[in-house]
Amino acid sequence: MRKSVKRGIVVGIALAVTVGTGAAWAAWTAYGTGNVYAKADTVVPLELVAATADATLYPGATGDAIIKVKNSNKFPVAVTNVTWKPSDGVRATGGIGFCSNTGVYFGDFSTGPVGSNGMLAGARLMAAAGGQLKIGGGETVQFTLANAVRMINNVDNGCQGATFSIPVSVIGSSEAS
């Protein structure tokens, strides 16, 4: 191969590399800025589906309360408080006679016979529920609250055989990770 042909090939290759590199250098980079938007959902209140006593109460007896809570939110919730307002009273049905003074209380009875003024929260609530207070998004869960219902000695005789309805409210906080 002649020297001029070799030289022509080398020059051609060099020219091709230079043009290709120049084309690569000719690409432009574009930048932009802006905002990303997200919208927070609104919280749906927890719904107390059922609350019953799983106990055969008699004057001086303490028993378990069973609550069934529905979480209609998309995220998990942990129940943090279960509260009964004594001013809301306790309703009795099906007793053997007149049962106006039920003598039934709800709460933490480690402090005395009438309990904690209707509040189960924090460590006492966790202990009463055996540590299981989480409800997944869209789930309904039943909890047993150990020793959360008590009947004191001051109760109408007609309350024998009655079923007691205790209006409670539940509060929870999000447990999303």
For residue range 117-146, what is the model confidence (pLDDT) as tens digits? Answer: 788 887 778 878 777 789 999 999 998 888
In the structure encoding, which two tokens stand for residue 13, read together? 């290759």
Please spell the DSSP secondary structure of 113-171, one letter per residue.
TTTTTTEEEHHHHHHHTTT--EE-TT-EEEEEEEEEEEE-S---GGGTT-EEE--EEEE
- Mean pLDDT of the 102-125 span: 82
Mean pLDDT of the chain: 83
Q: What pLDDT, on the 0 to 100 scale, is given for residue 96?
A: 95
Indicate the pTM of the whole model: 0.71
Q: Select the more confidently predicted residue: 18 or 128.
A: 128
Span 169-176, average pLDDT? 88
Six token digits for residue 160: 């024998």
What is the set of domains in the chain, with CATH numbers? 47-174 (2.60.40.10)
Read off the pLDDT of residues 36-88 as tens digits, 9 standing for 90 and up: 989 888 889 999 887 776 668 899 999 888 889 999 999 999 999 899 999 99
Residue 174 has pLDDT above 70, yes or no: yes
